[in-house]
């Protein structure tokens, strides 16, 4: 069946939603039309074996459920069955709801669960209350969705077309569960292009999406592989948190003849239901900037207890944004590139992230350590910047990361950055925040830019080390001058250690301080300290260490002219002047310091106690990918005369308008 017919069938099914206007909200249409479409398709698929299943069902009465289920599946010759005599066409017009629910209850477990996740019964009752149920049922019963007319693949396309229409029309939460098709197509093309050795005839290829939504990435991956290779079996796997999206995804897989037990419901980060599985291709669009506080305990436990044997060994990002956790989760599911000596080893990942995973977090932070792990293990192949305004619920800048653990020889040790931010066309009618889309020609162009792997204005190639640096701590000496003024004597009495003094002792202290020369400025802490102790002793006040510290604190002030304060012969650092320098990885921190720091602050030094936790060398290693900096093009400002001319024209216009008003 050709694509035009697919669209016609989808349009017809969509038109049934017209019956619902007024009685249901637009955002609810999909929750009614999709399960009915699924129900009708399953009915058409099961039609040839229906009689055999019913007679088998009678024969198996009283047998254990598992045994019965297995025998009925065999009789149906499908991955699901229905043991009811009813069909949509034979439901009574008087007790339609009761008949329909009895019919749905007669499906096998997997299929029955899908209808439960759709809350199908609630909608059936609402349709019955609005006197619409029988009409809707009749419309679907008259639609031919038989496999002879529409293949599984074609049905998948129709189902997806409906999913897309509903996601786009109910803009409420479309973005959370549905990735725009152009983005899906681009990401899939980038990941699967040039992978012919994995797609040899008769091979089995696995695709996985840990944030499966309604299954867009899985369907597109399947479609892409089927379009470029013959006789390849594609096995789809996914996990989804939202029960309704999960139901749609599972229904889509059932329609395509996939093994629906590979689609799981639950939180991928805290409860990985495909643990231990590894996949050829992985595609994901995790939620942008969503916090992981709800699952913090499970993730912290896995990180601390399992380390690199778990998924989150390299580090954890801040709780406010969990997108890098999804990336680590995917990396943990990569196949060993050396596996079984064939070309089946290794995996490729395509994941859509916002800007923060590129640069959030300084040296030593969880984010930086995750980037370090990915880059130093040479897993990052390319990062492509997308245009803004591409998603239904946000207009922010986004990026496709392509990762691989079996890079081509030319790409080893290198990362390609591609600026695709200008590859867009304006939409005739915006959908929520989505005002732009990428055309098929532009997708091909970006995939070619990636495939060519050449240095151009839009494609930059860097060695992995280019993104690394060492953060060194630069200290400068503390220089204090001291003066015993009335203002500072008042400050002395606010010091905690001094407030604890007996009144008589406090009086002796104040007498001693008032006897000192208020105009004298002392540039050496040691000399002033000796003088202070001597004066206090003359007034019978002998300060304890905390008291002396409090006095020096009150009388001291930073002074670049003063002598350096020393402790055990070493210069004492001034925390207020502490600074950090990022030294490019691979360059000696001392050479950098002599060249970049010393000429400006000759008395500075590197704090050598601040070393990297992994390699023990001076300076903490950090990694960031300053994407925009590499594509920044300086635009010189316009000449002043031109700006003046524009301003003059503008003020002249205002003058004329004012004159016109007062005339």
Residue-wise DSSP of 441-460: HHHHHHHHHHHHT---SSEE
- Between the CA atoms of 285, 290, 296 and 299, what dihedral angle is there, to the nearest 10 degrees? 20
Question: How far does Cα 377 stand from its chain's mean position?
Answer: 20
Residue 273's pLDDT band, with cuts at 50, 70 and 90, is: very high
Reading the block at residue 412, the tokens are 């080893």
- Residue 52 parent element (H or E): helix 50-59
User: For residues 609 and 577, what is the distance between their CA atoms, to the nearest angstrom?
Assistant: 18
Q: Is the pLDDT of residue 168 over 50?
A: yes
Q: State the greatest distance between any 2 C-alpha atoms of the chain, in Å, as a whole number.
A: 115
> Could you give the CA distance from residue 177 to residue 168 in angstroms, rounded to a whole number?
11
* Residue 170 pLDDT grade (very low, low, confident, very high; cuts 50, 70, 90): low
Q: Find out whether 489 and 496 touch, Cβ atoms under 8 Å.
A: no
DSSP state of 335: P
Structure tokens at 234: 């594609």
Taking the C-alpha atoms of residue 246 and residue 177, their distance in angstroms, rounded to an integer, is 10
Tokens of 261: 């037990």
Q: What is the tens place of the pLDDT at every residue in 435-448?
A: 888 899 999 999 99
Q: Is the pTM of this model over 0.75?
A: yes
DSSP-derived secondary structure for 501-545: S-HHHHHHHHHHHHTS-TT--B--HHHHHHHHHHHHHHTT----H
pLDDT by residue (tens digit) across 139-148? 999 999 998 8
More confident site: 176 or 246: 246
| Closest-CA residue to 164 (of 188, 185, 139) | 185
Mean pLDDT, residues 161-176? 64
| Residue 178's pLDDT band (cuts 50, 70, 90) | low
Angle at 432 between CA 430 and CA 433, to 5 degrees: 85
What's the CA gap between 242 and 215, in Å, rounded?
12
d(CA 164, CA 181): 8
Work out the mean pLDDT of the chain and round it to a whole number.
Answer: 89
Residues whose CB is less than 8 angstroms from the CB of residue 218 and which lie 6 or more positions away in sequence, other chains included:
207, 209, 212, 236, 237, 238, 249, 252, 253, 283
- Check residue 242 and give its pLDDT: 86
User: Structure tokens of 396?
Assistant: 């922010």
Residues 529 and 542: their CA atoms lie apart, in Å, by: 13
Q: Determine the Cα–Cα distance for residues 542 and 536; give it in Å rounded to an integer.
A: 6
Residues 6+ apart with CB under 8 A from 600: none
156: how many CB neighbours lie within 10 A of its CB? 23
Task: Using the structure block, give the residue that is written with the tokens 């066409």.
Answer: 89
Helix (H, G, I), strand (E, B) or coil at 355: coil
Place of tokens 């099961």: 46
Residues in the chain: 663
Q: Where are any strands of DSSP class E within 361-478?
A: 380-385, 398-404, 414-419, 425-431, 434-437, 459-463, 468-475
Residue 392 has pLDDT above 80, yes or no: no
Each residue of 194-210: pLDDT tens digit?
A: 888 888 888 899 999 99
Please state which of the ranges 284-288, 351-355, 628-632 shows the lowest mean pLDDT. Answer: 628-632
Cα distance between residue 77 and residue 354, in whole Å: 45
Contacts of 433 (CB under 8 A, 6+ apart): 175, 389, 391, 392, 393, 394, 395
What is the predicted pLDDT for the residue at 286? 92
Element (H, E) at 99: helix 96-105
Contact 269, 326 (CB under 8 A): yes
Q: How far apart (Å, rounded) are the C-alpha atoms in residues 654 and 663?
A: 14
Q: Considering Cα of 141, then 146, then 150, then 151, what sign does the dihedral take?
A: positive
Flag whether pLDDT at 248 surpasses 80: yes
Q: Using CA atoms, how far apart are residues 20 and 132, in angstroms rounded to an integer? A: 8
pLDDT band at 2 (very low <50, low <70, confident <90, very high): low
Query: What is the pLDDT at residue 534?
Result: 94
The fraction of the chain above a pLDDT of 90, given in percent, is 60
Per the CB < 8 A criterion, the answer to whether 347 and 398 are in contact is no
How many angstroms separate the CA atoms of 159 and 254, rounded?
A: 11
Burial 284-305 (b: 16+ CB within 10 A, else e): bbbbbbeebeebeeebeebbee
d(CA 377, CA 403): 11
- The H or E element containing residue 580 is strand 579-584
**Residues 529-571: pLDDT tens digits?**
999 999 999 999 999 999 999 999 999 999 999 999 998 889 9
Q: How far apart are CA 149 and CA 133, in angstroms?
A: 26
Predicted local distance difference test score (pLDDT) of residue 35 = 92
State residue 174's pLDDT score.
Answer: 40
Question: What pLDDT does 1 receive?
Answer: 46
Backbone φ, ψ for residue 436 (5° rounding): -135, 155
Please give the radius of gyration of the chain, using alpha carbons only, rounded to the nearest integer.
35
Residue % of the chain over a pLDDT of 70:
97
Nearest Cα to 621, choosing from 437, 269, 426, 365? 365
Measured CA to CA, the distance from residue 122 to residue 35 in angstroms comes to 12
Residue 361 in tokens: 């977090």
pLDDT (average), residues 11-37: 88
278: Cβ–Cβ under 8 A, 6 or more apart, which residues? 333, 334, 335, 336, 347
| pLDDT at res. 365 | 93
Q: Distance (Å, rounded) from C-alpha 287 to C-alpha 350?
A: 14
- Which of 195, 206, 355 is closest to 289 using CA atoms? 355
Residue 294 pLDDT more than 70? yes
∠ Cα 318 218 437 (to 5°): 75
Residue 310 DSSP label: S
In order, the DSSP letters of 264-307 are EES-TTT--TTTT--BSEEEE-PPTT---GGGHHHHHHHHHHHG
């Amino acid at each position: 069946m050709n694509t035009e017919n697919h669209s016609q069938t989808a349009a017809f099914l969509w038109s049934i939603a017209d019956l619902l206007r007024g009685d249901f909200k637009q955002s609810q249409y999909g929750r009614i039309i999709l399960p009915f479409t699924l129900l009708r398709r399953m009915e058409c698929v099961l039609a040839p074996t229906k009689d055999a299943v019913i007679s088998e069902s009678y024969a198996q009465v009283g047998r254990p459920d598992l045994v019965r289920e297995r025998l009925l599946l065999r009789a149906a010759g499908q991955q699901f069955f229905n043991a009811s005599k009813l069909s949509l066409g034979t439901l009574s017009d008087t007790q339609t709801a009761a008949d329909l629910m009895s019919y749905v209850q007669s499906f096998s477990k997997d299929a029955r669960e899908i209808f439960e996740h759709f809350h199908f019964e609630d909608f059936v009752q609402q349709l019955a209350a609005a006197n619409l149920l029988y009409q809707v049922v009749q419309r679907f019963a008259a639609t031919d969705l038989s496999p002879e007319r529409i293949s599984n693949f074609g049905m998948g396309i129709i189902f997806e077309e409906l999913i897309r229409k509903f996601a786009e029309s109910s803009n409420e939460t479309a973005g959370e569960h549905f990735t725009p098709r152009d983005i899906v197509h681009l990401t899939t093309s980038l990941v699967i292009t040039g992978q012919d050795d994995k797609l040899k005839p008769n091979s089995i290829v696995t695709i996985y999406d840990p944030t499966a939504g309604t299954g867009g990435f899985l369907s597109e991956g399947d479609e892409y592989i089927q379009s470029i290779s013959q006789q390849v079996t594609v096995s789809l796997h996914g996990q989804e948190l939202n029960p309704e999206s999960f139901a749609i995804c599972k229904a889509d897989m059932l329609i395509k003849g996939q093994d629906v037990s590979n689609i799981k419901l639950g939180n991928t980060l805290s409860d990985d239901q495909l643990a231990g599985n590894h996949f050829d291709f992985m595609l994901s669009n995790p939620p942008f900037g969503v916090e992981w506080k709800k699952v913090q305990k499970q993730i912290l436990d896995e990180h601390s207890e399992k380390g690199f044997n778990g998924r989150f060994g390299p580090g954890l990002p801040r709780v406010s944004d969990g997108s890098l956790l999804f990336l680590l989760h995917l990396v943990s599911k990569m196949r060993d590139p050396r596996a079984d000596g064939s070309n089946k080893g290794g995996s490729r990942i395509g994941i859509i992230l916002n800007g923060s995973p590129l640069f959030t977090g300084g040296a030593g932070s969880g984010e930086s350590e995750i980037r370090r792990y990915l880059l130093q293990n040479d897993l990052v192949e390319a990062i492509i910047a997308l245009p803004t305004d591409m998603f239904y619920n946000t207009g922010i800048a986004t990026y496709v990361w392509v990762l691989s653990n079996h890079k081509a020889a030319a790409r080893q040790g290198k990362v390609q950055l591609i600026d695709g931010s200008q590859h867009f066309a304006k939409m005739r009618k915006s959908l929520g925040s989505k005002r732009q889309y990428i055309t098929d020609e532009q997708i091909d162009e970006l995939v070619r830019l990636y495939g060519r792997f050449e240095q151009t204005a839009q494609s930059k190639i860097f060695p992995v080390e280019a993104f690394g640096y060492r953060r060194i701590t630069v200290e400068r000496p503390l220089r204090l001058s001291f003066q015993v003024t009335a203002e500072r004597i008042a400050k002395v009495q606010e010091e905690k250690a001094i407030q604890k003094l007996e009144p008589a002792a406090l009086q002796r202290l104040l007498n001693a301080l008032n006897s000192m020369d208020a105009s004298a400025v002392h540039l050496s802490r040691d000399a002033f300290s000796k003088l202070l102790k001597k004066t206090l002793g003359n007034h019978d006040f002998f300060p304890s260490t905390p008291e002396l510290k409090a006095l020096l604190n009150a009388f001291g002030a930073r002074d670049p002219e003063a002598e350096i304060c020393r402790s055990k012969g070493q210069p004492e650092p001034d925390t207020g002047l502490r600074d950090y320098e990022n030294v490019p990885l691979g360059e000696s921190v001392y050479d950098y310091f002599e060249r970049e720091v010393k000429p400006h602050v000759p008395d500075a030094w590197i704090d050598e106690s601040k070393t990297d936790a992994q390699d023990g060398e001076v300076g903490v290693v950090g990694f960031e990918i300053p994407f925009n900096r590499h594509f920044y093009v300086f635009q010189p400002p316009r000449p002043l005369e031109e700006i003046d001319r524009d301003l003059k024209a503008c003020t002249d216009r205002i003058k004329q308008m004012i004159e016109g008003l007062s005339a």
